[in-house]
Amino acid sequence: MRLGAGVAAALAAGHPVLACESTILTHGLPAPRNLAVAAEAEDLVRSLGVVPATVGVLDGEVVVGLSGPELERLAGAPGRVKLSARDLPVAVATGATGGTTVAATAHLAHRAGIAVFATGGLGGVHRGAATTFDESADLPALASLPVVVVSAGVKSVLDVAATLERLETLGVSVAGYRTHAFPGFYVADSGHRVGQRVESPQQVAAAWRAARALGLPGALVVANPVPRDEQLPPAEHDAALADALAALDAAGIGGQDATPFLLQRVRDATGDRSLEVNVAVYRNNLTLGARIAAELAADPVTPPG
Ligand code: PSU
Ligand code: MN
C-alpha cells in the first residue's frame, strides 16, 4: 500500500485527512463526468482545509491518496474492476486496476491511519437476499473497522429495512445527521427511521472518541441526507426504481454487477437526473466528512493502553 505524498505528510503532521471511495469514479458515473467529479471532490475537500485521500488500485498497486494524473488513469482505465476488500489480494497479484468499494476503502483508510471516510451510499442487503444470500461485504467490514463513514444511508435499490436490521445485529453505530429519517440515497427520506441522531461535526467527533474509549470495534455511520431541494422527486425515484428492479429480474443479473446495473437503469429512466443527484449526494457527504475530519484532527485521540 502506498500513501500519496500529500497524504503521508498530512498524517505525519496531524493534519486532517478524508478518505474518499473510488467506485463512484470507476463504476458510478460515466466518462468524462467521472473524472470531473473526482477532481471537483478533491478541490472541495481541500477548500475546507482537509487533505483528500482517494483510494484505488492501479496496475496492482494499492494507493491511498491518488494524484491528479493517477485519478485520470483510474477513471479511464479499460477493464477497470470493482474491488471489495476480499478482492484486493488477487488484484495486487495480477496487476489489476480498479475502484474500491466501501468495504475496501474503509479497510485501507483504517490501515493508513485515516479515521474518516466519505462515500455516496453504503452497500447492504439486496432485495431477495433471503434466497440469493446477496449481502454486501460492506456490512461485515463496517462491523470490524473503527472508522467514521459519512453516507446518504444505503442505496435505495437495496432492502433498506433489512440492511438497518443487519447493521444493528453487527453492532455498527448509526446516527442520522440532524434527522431521525434514515436517508434513501437519491431521496432525503427512505421511509425508515433511525433511532439516534447527531447535530454537528463536534458531536460526531465526540461519539467517535467515545467509541474508542469504550473499545467498540466497529464503524460509526453518519447518515447524511441529500438536501431536499436537491433530491430526486420521490415519485420519480419510485417509478425509476421499480423499472430498474424489473429489468434486473429480467436480465438475471446478480452478484457484484447488481448495484452498477440498477444504478445505470435508474439513470436511464430519469434522463440522467439521478446522476446529478448522485453528485449532489457525494458533495454533501464530502463536505460533512471534511468537517468531521477537521474536528478530529483538532483534538486527536490517543488509543488507550
Ligand atoms: N457506486 C456505483 N456502483 C457500485 C458502488 C457504488 O455506482 O457498485 C459500490 C459501493 O462502493 C458499495 C458497493 O460499497 O457498491 C456495494 O456493492 P456490493 O453489493 O457488490 O458489495
Ligand atoms: Mn453482492
Q: Which residues are catalytic?
A: 21, 155
Q: Which of 114, 131, 161 is the last residue before a domain boundary?
A: 114
**Above pLDDT 70, what percent of the chain?**
99
Q: Are residues 76 and 141 in the same domain?
A: no
Domain end point (choices 64, 83, 114) = 114
- Residue 264 domain flag: no
Closest ligand 1 atom to 99 CA: 11
Is the domain of 63 the same as that of 120? no
Q: What is the pLDDT of residues 176-195, one digit of tens each?
A: 999 999 999 999 999 999 99
- 67-100 residue pLDDT tens: 999 999 999 999 999 999 999 999 999 999 999 9
The DSSP secondary structure of 229-269, one letter per residue, reads GGSPPHHHHHHHHHHHHHHHHHHT--GGGHHHHHHHHHHHH
Q: Report which ligand 1 atom has the smallest distance to the Cα of 136.
A: 21
* Confidence at residue 304, expressed as pLDDT on a 0 to 100 scale: 55
Q: Which domain holds residue 96?
A: 1-114
pTM equals 0.96
pLDDT, tens digit, 9 for 90 and up, residues 139-177? 999 999 999 999 999 999 999 999 999 999 999 999 999
Q: What is the mean pLDDT of residues 214-239?
A: 97
Q: Which residue has the cell 482517494?
A: 54
- Residues making up the annotated binding site are 82, 102, 134, 136-138
Task: For helices 273-298 and 201-214, give the axis angle rounded to 10 degrees.
Answer: 60
User: How far apart are alpha carbons 246 and 227 in whole angstroms?
Assistant: 28
pLDDT in tens, 262-301: 999 999 999 889 999 999 999 999 999 999 999 999 987 7
Where does a domain end: 57, 84, 114?
Answer: 114
Which residues touch 46 (CB under 8 Å, ≥6 apart)?
52
Question: Which CATH number do you get for residue 193?
Answer: 3.40.1790.10
Mean pLDDT taken over the chain: 96
User: Same domain, yes or no, for 83 and 211?
Assistant: no
Spatial distance between the Cα atoms of 228 and 238, rounded to a whole number of angstroms:
16
Q: Report the number of distinct structural domains present in the chain.
A: 2
**CB-neighbour burial class of residue 185 (10 A; exposed 0-12, middle 13-18, buried 19+):** buried
- Determine which residue's CA is closest to atom 18 belonging to ligand 1: 136
